[in-house]
C-alpha cells in the first residue's frame, strides 16, 4: 500500500492500482455470438411481457 505523510503529519493511504491492459475488437464469431444472445434475450423479454399481458387480462 502506498502511504504519504503531509506537512501536518496526517497519513494518506492509497490503494494499489491494478495492472492495465488493452481491450481488443471482438472477432467475427464473437460478434455472431453476441447477436444470437441479443436475439435470444429479446425473445425472452417478449415472452415474459406477453405472459404478463395474458395473466392480467384473465384476472
Q: List the domain boundaries for the chain.
A: 24-59
Residue 13, φ and ψ in degrees, nearest 5: -105, 135
Write out pLDDT tens, residues 7-16.
Answer: 888 888 777 7
Contact 2, 17 (CB under 8 A): no
Write out pLDDT tens, residues 15-53.
Answer: 777 899 999 999 999 999 999 999 999 999 999 999 999
- Alpha helices for the chain (secondary structure H): 28-58
Contact 3, 16 (CB under 8 A): no
Amino acid at each position: 500500500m502506498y502511504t504519504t505523510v503531509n506537512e501536518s503529519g496526517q497519513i494518506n493511504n492509497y490503494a494499489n492500482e491494478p495492472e492495465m491492459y488493452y481491450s481488443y475488437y471482438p472477432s467475427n464469431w464473437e460478434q455472431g455470438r453476441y447477436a444470437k444472445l441479443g436475439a435470444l434475450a429479446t425473445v425472452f423479454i417478449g415472452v415474459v411481457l406477453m405472459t404478463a399481458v395474458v395473466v392480467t387480462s384473465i384476472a
